[in-house]
Amino acid sequence: MKQILLSVFLLIVTIVSYSQTLHYTITSNDSYIGNLEVTKSTTNDLLQIEVLSQVKVNLFIAIDFTYKLNCTYKNNELLFSSVTTYVNGKVHSTTTTEKDGAYYSVTKDEHPLKYLDKIFYSGALLYFTEPKGVTKIFSEFDGISKPITEINKNEYQIRNPKNDHLSEYRYKNGILQSSVNHHRLMTFTLTKI
C-alpha cells in the first residue's frame, strides 16, 4: 500500500510542476474599470496560459466586456489558442488558432485563414516573459503578427498594423508591470497588483 501511495505521489509531482497567477487592475482616465487575471501552468513540456479580463464602462451606454483567452505551447511553440469576447453577456467575437502541420489554421468569427509562420511568441506570453530580442508577436485575438520594438530598457512598443495604434509594455524581472493600450474608443492602462 505504501509503495502505491509513493508511486501516486511521485506521479503527481512529476505531472504538476508549476503554476503562477498574476493580477492586474484596468483603468481609463485614472478611473477603475476592471481587472485581469492570468494564470500560467506547466506540465512536463506543455505550457498553458489562461487570461480572464472583465471590464465595465459607460460609452454612451453601459458595456460589460469579458475577454477569455486559453493557449497551449509545446516545446516553446504555440499549439492552440482560443479567444472569446463577450459584450453584455453575449458572444461578440471568437478566434481560434491551431497548429496544422507546417502552418496554422486560424478561424476569426467563422472566417478561416492560414498563418504560415511558426509561432514562438504570442500575446499571452507578454505577462510572464519579457520579449527581449522578439521582433514580432502573434495576436491570438486578431490572428495576425504585430511588430514589437524595444524603446527603452525593459520597455516595449507594439504596433497594430490594422489601425496603427500603439501599446506600451513595461517589465521588471521579466514580469509585465504595466501597459498602456490605445484603442479606437478609449485608452486603458493595465497595472500589476
Instruction: Supply 28's cell numbers.
Output: 481609463
What are the pLDDT digits (tens) for 4-44?
443 444 444 445 568 999 999 999 999 999 999 999 999 98
The pLDDT value given to residue 12: 47
157 vs 163: CA distance, rounded Å: 15
CA-based nearest residue to 81, from 92, 91, 70 = 70
**What SS3 class is residue 5?**
helix
Q: State which H helix or E strand residue 17 sits in.
A: none
CA-based nearest residue to 146, from 171, 115, 102 = 115
Under the banding of pLDDT at 50, 70 and 90, the label for residue 60 is confident
